[in-house]
Structure 1
Amino acid sequence: MAKIGVEYGLTDVQEALQQMGHEVVQLRQENDAQGCDCCVVTGQDSNVMGISNSVTQGSVIKASGLSAEDVCQQVQSRFQ
């Protein structure tokens, strides 16, 4: 299964992805996303200053407004 980075605080999403068999890494710092196939973020820390530092080649999913089930479906669609 995929290695998924999940932003700190998205416990329900983390648990749901683990139940699906994915390896889940909690994202607390920018470097934690390295090596992840996909990252799930809250979307709260938006790029205010227009500066973007890419630390992963994988997809990024904003969980804002989505249920854990919705996020899991988006993750699955990325790997089919």
Structure 2
Amino acid sequence: MARVGIEGSLSDIKAALQEKGYDIVDLRQEEDAKGVDCCVISGQDKNVMGIATTSTQGSVINAEGLTAEEVTQEVESRLQ
């Protein structure tokens, strides 16, 4: 099953993805994003200056304003 990186504050989304059988990786540091197929972020730490470096080749999903079910659907659609 796919590996999904999740920010620590998104425990409801983490639980929903684990129920679906995804391998969950806690994103605590930038290095944690390496090797995941998809990342889910809270959107709280937005890039104000418009400069971004990425540590993953996978999709990044901003969960701000979305339910756990909506995020799960988004993860599934991006990984297929």
TM-score tier, shorter chain, comes to over 0.9
Could you tell me which amino acid in structure 2 is paired with residue 37 of structure 1? D
**Secondary structure, aligned partner of 1:9:** coil
- Provide the residue aligned with 2:79 in structure 1: 79
TM alignment of 1:30-49, pairs within 5 A: 30-49=30-49
Identity of aligned residues (%): 59
CA RMSD of aligned residues (A): 0.8
Q: Which stretches in structure 2 are left out of the alignment for 5+ residues?
A: none
- Provide the residue aligned with 2:29 in structure 1: 29
The separation in 2 between residues aligned to 1:70 and 1:54, in whole angstroms, is: 24
Could you tell me which amino acid in structure 2 is paired with residue 77 of structure 1? S
- Provide the residue aligned with 1:53 in structure 2: 53
Q: How much does 1:70 deviate?
A: 0.3
The separation in 1 between residues aligned to 2:50 and 2:64, in whole angstroms, is: 20
Could you tell me whether the CA contact under 8 Å between 2:63 and 2:71 is conserved in 1? yes
The separation in 2 between residues aligned to 1:48 and 1:5, in whole angstroms, is: 22
Deviations 1:29-80 (A, max 9, x none): 1111010100000111111123211100000000000000000000010122
The separation in 2 between residues aligned to 1:65 and 1:17, in whole angstroms, is: 17
So what's the TM-score if we normalise by structure 1? 0.95
